[in-house]
Amino acid sequence: MMKEKKVPTAVIQRMPRYYRYLGDLLERGIARVSSAQLSRRMGITASQIRQDLNHFGGFGQQGYGYNVEVLYNEIGRILGQDQEYSVIVIGAGNLGQAVSKYTNFNKRGYKVTALFDSNPALAGTTVAGYPVFDARELPDYLKENHTDIAVLTIPKAGAAETAKILTDGGVQAIWNFASIDLDLPDDKAVVVNVHLSDSLRVLSYKLRELRSEENPEED
């Protein structure tokens, strides 16, 4: 695959949002959009939007704006949305089940194939129609089933060990919900950590701020 120019992480992190907004416009049959309109809808300055989108070839045209469909497809391609991914979920507890049951991931090309759990009582059951296997079967499973992405929804105690089994088995991407920083070989695997509690704390920070603006004397 041809190496693309490295795009700054901050830009990449805004991409899924652009993708969502553009998808929304497409659904509403809107064919083009200016950076000013996107700016109003998204609360990002127009110049930031132009700068961001320039990383992807600058598809905007003076006086026309952006072709929504072209931009949507291009951002989708950059985000890897033009492919399907086989996904396994490690840890078939509350969170693992919730992720597996969320059918929109499936629609977007992330195809769950199986779950794994260290609790033998769960082996042989199904979650949303997907089989749950004993975690000890993971190395063999990976030998026989090409797997793109593993979702780690287990406590942090077993996370590092499991990540090693996954990368040794050829899994190159881990969506990590365990509250531990995984040390993966850079050239072999990528990881994105998800901390729902971080975003919840940002919410309570904002709530505190809002309330102190309402009642300044209390702060």
Binding site for ligand NAI (CB under 6 A): 90-96, 116-119, 135, 153-155, 158, 162, 177-179, 194-197
Which DSSP string corresponds to 36-63?
Answer: HHHHHHHTS-HHHHHHHHHTTT---BTT
Least separation, in Å, of the C-beta of 94 and ligand NAI? Answer: 4
SS3 66: strand
Q: Is 192 left (phi over 0), alpha (psi -120 to 50) or beta?
A: beta
Q: H or E element: which one contains 24?
A: helix 9-27
Note whether 66 and 32 are within 8 A (CB). Answer: yes
Note whether 163 and 182 are within 8 A (CB). Answer: yes
Q: Is 162 exposed, middle or buried (0-12, 13-18, 19+ CB in 10 A)?
A: buried
Least separation, in Å, of the C-beta of 167 and ligand NAI? Answer: 15
In single-letter form, the type of residue at position 124 comes to G
In the complex with ligand NAI, the residue whose CB is nearer, 55 or 164, is 164
In the complex with ligand NAI, the residue whose CB is nearer, 60 or 91, is 91
In the complex with ligand NAI, the residue whose CB is nearer, 26 or 194, is 194
Least separation, in Å, of the C-beta of 174 and ligand NAI? Answer: 13
Q: H or E element: which one contains 140?
A: helix 138-144
In the complex with ligand NAI, the residue whose CB is nearer, 68 or 127, is 127
In the complex with ligand NAI, the residue whose CB is nearer, 34 or 193, is 193
Least separation, in Å, of the C-beta of 135 and ligand NAI? Answer: 4
The sheet carrying 110-117 orders its strands as 126-127, 130-134, 110-117, 85-90, 149-152, 173-176, 190-193
Which residue sits closest to ligand NAI, CB atoms considered?
Answer: 93
Least separation, in Å, of the C-beta of 49 and ligand NAI? Answer: 29
Least separation, in Å, of the C-beta of 132 and ligand NAI? Answer: 9
Give, in order, the Cα–Cα distances in Å from 108 to each of 80, 100, 139. Answer: 11, 13, 27
In the complex with ligand NAI, the residue whose CB is nearer, 74 or 117, is 117
